[in-house]
Amino acid sequence: MSIKTIEWKNGLIKLIDQTLLPGELRYLYIDNIKDLWQAIKLLKVRGAPALGVSGALGVYLGIRGLKTQEKSRFFAELNKVCRYLASSRPTARNLFWAIERMQGLALENKNKSVLAIKKILFNKL
């Protein structure tokens, strides 16, 4: 049996609440970046790999619902989401690495439509 610490499932981030281990295995289902920020801050997400994955998932979670097709507004919101997520655990290098990777991927594709950029980011999850 394989137990995943964190994954994208049915439009939500599904992660193990690591503050309850080893006594209890409980999953959190997160649908917004404020709840993800709290989970990271309160150490419900622990370990470098899980923090990196949460960063990448969080970037997508933060921008997926943006309605704008205007690139300057999209990139402004993307940067805001990234700064916000990074503030949850300022010393977590893997969190920063994943956030920066998602930002870089978006910038590499800045000549594409906002919808196409969102799809590219989703496909990297």
Structural domain 6-123, CATH architecture: Up-down Bundle (1.20)
pLDDT, tens digit only, all 125 positions of the chain: 788 999 999 999 999 999 999 999 999 999 999 999 999 999 999 999 999 999 999 999 999 999 999 999 999 999 999 999 999 999 999 999 999 999 999 999 999 999 999 999 999 98
Of 110, 101, 111, residue with least CA distance to 58: 101
